Amino acid sequence: MSRKKKRRLTLTPGWVMYLRTSDEDAQAPERSQAGQRRMIQHTLIQPSGIPLINEYVDNYTGRATDRANYQRLLADAREGKFSHVSVAFADRFGRNDVEALRAIDELTELGVTIRIASDPSVNPADMNGRLFTNILFGMARLESDRTAHRVVEGMHSKLLSGEWAFKAPDGYVNKELKLFQPGHEDKMKNTRYKRWIELDPEQAKVWRTAWDMLLTETHTLEDICEALHARGYRLKGGTPFVKISDRGRRVAAAAKLSKAFHNWVYAGWVVLDTEWGTIQPKTVRGNWEPIVSTEEFERGIAILNKRNMDRCPRRKHEYLLRGLVYLQQADGSLTKLTCSYSNANRQSGGSRYYCIYSSKTNILCKVVDAQIPRWLMGLQVDDKLLPIIREAYTHDVDNHLANSAKTEKQELEDQLKSIDEEETRMARQYAAQKLSEQIWEMLWQEWQDRRSAIRTTLALLDDSRELHLDSLDVALTLISKAAILFDKLELANQYQLLKHMVRRVIINPQGMIVNVDLLPPFGYLQTLVTSQIGGQSRAGKQKPRQKRGLIEGKSCSDLVALGTPIGIRTRVSALKGPRPRPLDDKGN
């Protein structure tokens, strides 16, 4: 199948100019653009005999690609409104070399001819012309980067001398003086303008009042905003310290106030923390009048920091089973429930619900929560059967870890052996003077680090069994004390206790708990206690006879006092049947 040829645009014959100046402050746009226009007319348009159709003018930096008329030029080219584009110099088209070359490639593909008046013989469409154009744009980008670097260094030097090089913060104003006949000293420090900051007589009173209120340590940021608003004070630009939202709520400008209280300019210090320079607090004194003293500023910062440290954010509403409760649907599927607090503004208080968002499923929290203490009381293990549980658990841990630990241990030992062999080979090379002493030292250090890491892993493998056994004792202790502690804890702490033990609580539409999935190792213990040790194993082999003397007077058919997940305190058969797997990451 033949490839479909791309349809070429029908271009309107004619030139367009693209004229650009950096901005109105850096240059005189009209004079610069008039010079570019004359150069293009004399060098390109008049000799070609092709008429001028339009011109596009931007007063914006060439590093930006969102110039309005530059984008309009590209859009018109895609519609075939002209056939030739002219610029006076390469850097007038743009100082972003990547974007400029991309645009030239697009225009060339459209069939548009691009010419640069300063180099009229260069054709960006051919191979040699593109190389030269690439160089021109690269030089333009380099010049732009050097200019930016000089500006940054100048700003840094100005700040280090105690002057301010940015927009003045609220309470100060920027000042400038045009130097028609500068003296020698001003000429060395400034060019055409001398710029500095000084106190704003009106706004300085606002911020002195704000600082006085902060230093009393009795007013919050919101209180200060309200007090300033009540006096009719406003931020620079007329923004009030307190706004009224669309819903009628009062919104204080506390964030702006906090930012100002952390600004060292108010204490008369130059502080800088940017990618291109850093000036630490209390190292460079500013040459402007401070609103507060350094001692007052530091005391204010200490007050704000203390408030942040003492701040203990609390949830507006607490729920015992937040994120833990699931609803069992009629088909057996589970749906996670969210929490809701309805009619919270009532004098008698609202009602908490576990619910499905945007549905009619709403189950009172108190109905579900009331069952949790009874369920915890059911999680009790008979002390007399603890030895049987520990023996069964130890047996499972040993079986589970034996194969995996043996394989992993063998792999680590093989790695140690390979390191020894590698070191022996390199030692022969070193003895034959085929390796320098520096390389040998580097290799030797690497071998030692690898050996150390492997030996540490081997030691952890040996200790893993003891760690698992310790986790059993901790779990049994927590189970025995959970019911006693639960009623004495606050709601938030009760939630934290359940979060360490419970993966999910499953309820029916009536709010009754039908099952509780426990986290490891509690879930394993529940399965272990409710399972049978005697009888056939999963492989169909007979289990060895129960050891005698484990607990005198107890046999495999004895019962354990461990409640079921729904909290009913029943006696269930214990330690019979196939052994469950020991602890795993998912508690299965």
Q: Is residue 335 part of a domain?
A: yes
Encoded tokens for 209: 């009042």
- CA gap 459, 448 in Å, rounded: 16
Q: Do 216 and 338 have their domain in common?
A: no
How many Å apart are CA 297 and CA 262, to the nearest integer?
8
Helices 97-110 and 68-78, interaxial angle, to 10°?
20
Contacts of 412 (CB under 8 A, 6+ apart): 454, 457, 458, 461
**Residue 579 domain-assigned?**
no
* CA separation for the pair 349, 586 (Å, rounded): 40
Q: Which of 34, 39, 143 is nearest to 91 (CA)?
A: 143
Given 131, 147, 163, which residue is the final one in a domain?
Answer: 147
Q: Would you state the structure tokens that stand for residue 313, as one six-digit string?
A: 């954010």
DSSP string covering 346-387: STT--EEEEE-TTSS-EEEHHHHHTTHHHHHHH----GGGHH
Q: Determine, yes or no, domain membership for 247.
A: yes
The residue with tokens 């200060």 is 224
The total of structural domains in the chain comes to: 4
Question: Distance (Å, rounded) from C-alpha 317 to C-alpha 342?
Answer: 11
Same domain, 109 and 233: no
Q: What CATH number corresponds to the domain at position 296?
A: 3.90.1750.20
Does residue 173 belong to any structural domain of this protein?
A: no
| 343 in any annotated domain | yes
137 and 19 co-located in one domain: yes
Do 134 and 233 sit in the same domain of this protein?
A: no
Is residue 254 one of the residues assigned to a domain? yes
Omega prior to 580 cis, within 30 of 0 = no
C-alpha–C-alpha distance, residues 124 and 117, integer Å? 13
- At 366, the amino acid letter reads K
Q: What is the DSSP letter of 45?
A: I
What is the domain-level CATH number for residue 65? 3.40.50.1390
Using CA atoms, how far apart are residues 368 and 361, in angstroms rounded to an integer?
14
Per-residue pLDDT of the chain (588 residues; tens, 9 = 90+): 444 444 567 888 999 999 888 764 445 677 788 888 899 999 999 888 899 999 999 887 767 777 888 889 899 989 999 999 998 887 777 766 677 778 888 888 888 888 888 888 888 878 777 777 777 777 777 777 777 788 788 888 888 888 888 889 999 998 887 766 555 455 555 556 778 889 998 999 999 999 999 999 888 899 999 999 998 999 988 889 999 888 888 899 988 999 999 999 999 999 888 877 788 888 889 999 999 999 999 999 999 888 876 555 555 678 888 889 999 988 888 999 998 887 766 666 678 889 988 788 889 998 999 998 888 877 666 666 667 666 766 666 666 655 566 677 777 788 888 888 888 888 888 788 777 777 777 778 778 878 887 777 766 656 555 555 556 666 667 776 777 778 888 888 888 888 888 889 999 999 999 988 887 766 666 666 555 334 333 333 334 433 333 333 333 333 333 443 333 333 333 333 333 344 344 444
Same domain, 408 and 303: no
The per-residue DSSP string of 3-26 comes to PPPPPPP-PPP-EEEEEEES-TTT
Phi first, then psi, for residue 532 (nearest 5°) are: -110, 140
**Residue that is last in its domain, among 466, 481, 503:** 466
Tell me: do 250 and 352 sit in the same domain.
no
**Do 204 and 293 have their domain in common?**
yes
Give pLDDT, residue 533: 38
Q: Is residue 295 domain-resident?
A: yes
Residues 130 and 24 in one domain: yes
**Same domain (yes/no): 124, 77:** yes
Question: Are residues 123 and 43 part of one domain?
Answer: yes
- Say whether both 297 and 335 belong to one domain: no
Distance, in Å, from the CA atom of 75 to the CA atom of 382, rounded to the nearest integer, reads 83
pTM of the full structure? 0.44
Residue 96 region, left (φ>0) first, then alpha (ψ -120 to 50), else beta?
A: beta
Residue 9 lies in a domain: no
**Containing domain of residue 362, as a range?**
325-370
294 with 345, same domain?
no
The reported pLDDT for the residue numbered 108 is 85
